[in-house]
Amino acid sequence: MSNYHVKNLEEYFQVYRKSVRDPETFWGEIAEENFLWRKPWDTVLEYNFEKPEITWYKGAKLNITENCIDRHLYARGEKTAIIFEPNDPKEKAEHISYNQLHDRVCRFANVLKENGIKKGDRVCIYLPMIPELAISLLACARIGAIHSVVFAGFSAKAISTRINDCDCKMVITSDGSFRGSKTIDLKGIVDDALESCDGIETVLVVKRIHSEITMVEGRDRWLQPLLDEASNMCQPEIMDAEDPLFILYTSGSTGQPKGMVHSTAGYMVYTAYTFKNVFQYREDDVYWCTADIGWITGHSYIVYGPLANGATTVLFEGVPAYPDWGRFWEVVEKHKVNQFYTAPTAIRALAKERLDFSEKHDLSSLKILGTVGEPINEEAWHWYNDTIGKKKCPIVDTWWQTETGGIMISPIPFSTPTIPTFATLPLPGIQPTLMDEVGEELSGNMVSGRLCIKFPWPSMARTIWGNHKRFKETYFSAYKDMYFTGDGALRNSTGYYRITGRVDDVIIVSGHNLGTAPIEDSINEHPAVSESAIVGFPHDVKGSALYGYVILKETGETRNHDNLRKEINQIITEHIGPIAKLDKIQFTSGLPKTRSGKIMRRILRKIAEKDASNLGDTSTLLNPEVVQEIMDNAL
Ligand code: WTA
């Protein structure tokens, strides 16, 4: 039996029990047997959830890129590490071997150094899904710089907030990006963002779409000539196990996005371990995760987890509908993809299209199908299972979060029997539990409550950049000695978990987490708006979509409501990005509030969900009369 690679259900239970009985031996052995360390650790785990302070592999020294690249060169130097599949199917795919990846990461790392980046500096990366994106993460990690990737769909304001929050010194971007039949002016967006960022000394620009852009003298530099001149040798910076590897922002229910800080050793061990097991990766498999590297799924399961296992990982620049809805299946056929990992929102969108888009492609290479990001509904699950997997490919419904760094609850394919909509069982080392609202742990099965984790795991986020207090309050204060996920879940009679959705004011739209507060703040900046409230409502492709209730300043506002709706969505696009646009905007004279002035979102949610028959107790409202008005005008 190998703790590292679990191959059947009996083994899973044995390994799981060991991981709970003696976590330190368990994670110590996995780390020792499967990775390259420059110095071993003094202790495997020290933790205190009160503070909270979590330390894995204390005293150990390593570099994650040595583990993801250098150590594979002897046996797998010519093996393909990354297959780059461009947006345009007519452009040739690029196969980057481990040797070439080493060369390119080292050159890039040297360019970072020559441009003043040192260990511990923060580098903002705002790039489309091109090889330079993965390479820039690794180049930062090579020299110990902390990368902060901002998804290249975010607006200038969203970028500048993130750059300023963690004081980045450099931005890496491109002249633009291809997205289906469109191009996006990424460099222009960065230029706008940098008008309110003082700390940026250098902008490195990748040439991708060959558009005319402005280069700011003394600040902006084309990347390619610098790479051409740089040495292809760069000694890895030797890092402490707990040195931060990256920052990645995620929405909270209130306030600014939270810069989740992930550290080096624990993150590496856990993402590699879970990649190997959840996707049952074997040496010659081709693995494809369709997420963007701008999200945690891409960090952990396009870049670090696969490369730490010496895998071949597909990096896809395009979108599922370009040039038509058959693109995913064309790519699967072309590269003989064995493991395919995507989001329920993509599955639902694909399932709506004609069958021949999938039928005309040979999907027989597929062995395992994965989903992540939001609950998968039963219909989508069956479509995925029948039409794509031909009932032969286990579906891994993987539950996890930006904060958890890696997959937490998921079937192990060919071992764990699956049930649609259930993420099933915790992975080894993960100790989930359900809590009720008054802080009691719910024992036994057939219960539902708030999902918490009782014990540390190696890849958990260590803090929120610059705000440890918020880290403690958000995740470790709801329940004593537990990490609170913010999700609700139920446990069935066999102990399987089903994630039911957020229990806070985060709404998941097409798999993207959106906090209501920042959207409301941006709407309120419209000169005609006095107040607003956002809730989610069910949407057949996006999972949830956004419904906004907006109070206008002057009564008898004469402006055309449709124009106002457009303007409001325009402001949201500028402040956050198009992903946060509202599907429905209802103008109202008031919002239901408690006597202490809190908006009763529960009522707004019910109305948006067209489930207003049972609004519950409204007697505590300050203004119960407004409820009827909102119901009468509901969209
Ligand atoms: C939700 C994505 C149901 C959940 C890796 C979580 C899921 C949030 C699943 C984190 C799943 C993720 N089933 N819900 N399999 N996976 N979620 O930070 O609400 O972008 O808290 O990380 O997505 O989203 P994040």
Q: Choose one of 489, 523, 553: the last residue of a domain.
A: 489
User: Does the residue 503 lie in any domain?
Assistant: no
Distance 486 CA to ligand 1 centre (A): 10
Q: What is the pLDDT of residue 259?
A: 98
User: Does the residue 271 lie in any domain?
Assistant: yes
Mapped to the 3 state alphabet, what secondary structure does 113-157 carry?
HHCCCCCCCEEEEECCCCHHHHHHHHHHHHHCCEEEECCCCCCHH
Same domain, 553 and 479: no
Q: What is the pLDDT of residue 597?
A: 73
Distance 137 CA to ligand 1 centre (A): 23
CATH number of the domain to which 568 belongs: 3.30.300.30
> What residue numbers bound the domain in which 135 lies?
9-489
Q: What is the pLDDT of residue 64?
A: 98
Distance in angstroms (rounded) separating the CA atoms of residues 351 and 359? 12
Q: What is the pLDDT of residue 182?
A: 97
User: Does the residue 395 lie in any domain?
Assistant: yes
Same domain, 565 and 451: no
User: Does the residue 199 lie in any domain?
Assistant: yes
Residue of the CA atom closest to atom 11 of ligand 1: 399
Rg of the chain over all Cα atoms, to the nearest angstrom: 24
Same domain, 106 and 249: yes
Same domain, 478 and 527: no
Distance in angstroms (rounded) separating the CA atoms of residues 299 and 285? 20
Number of domains present in the structure of the chain: 2
Same domain, 514 and 484: no
Distance in angstroms (rounded) separating the CA atoms of residues 628 and 255? 31
Q: Choose one of 427, 458, 489: the last residue of a domain.
A: 489
Same domain, 514 and 485: no
Distance in angstroms (rounded) separating the CA atoms of residues 209 and 181? 12
Residue-wise pLDDT for 506-560, tens only, equals: 899 998 989 888 899 899 899 999 889 999 999 999 999 999 999 998 755 567 8
Distance in angstroms (rounded) separating the CA atoms of residues 414 and 339? 13
First to last CA, the chain: 58
Widest distance between CA atoms in the chain: 74
Question: The tokens of 55 are what?
Answer: 């330390």
508 lines ligand 1 (CB under 6 A): yes
pTM of the predicted model, to two decimals? 0.93
Distance 428 CA to ligand 1 centre (A): 19
Beta bridge partners of 316: 85
Same domain, 404 and 552: no
Same domain, 263 and 386: yes
Distance 422 CA to ligand 1 centre (A): 13
Residue of the CA atom closest to atom 25 of ligand 1: 401
Residue-wise pLDDT for 254-305, tens only, equals: 778 999 999 999 999 999 999 999 999 999 999 999 999 999 999 999 999 9
Q: What is the pLDDT of residue 505?
A: 83
Residues in the chain predicted with pLDDT less than 50, given as ranges, are none
Same domain, 369 and 244: yes
Same domain, 128 and 162: yes
CATH number of the domain to which 310 belongs: 3.40.50.12780
* Residue to probe by mutation, ligand 1, list 401, 497, 507, most atoms within 8 Å of CB: 401
Distance 374 CA to ligand 1 centre (A): 5
Same domain, 232 and 331: yes
User: Does the residue 232 lie in any domain?
Assistant: yes
Q: What is the pLDDT of residue 557?
A: 56
Q: What is the pLDDT of residue 91?
A: 98
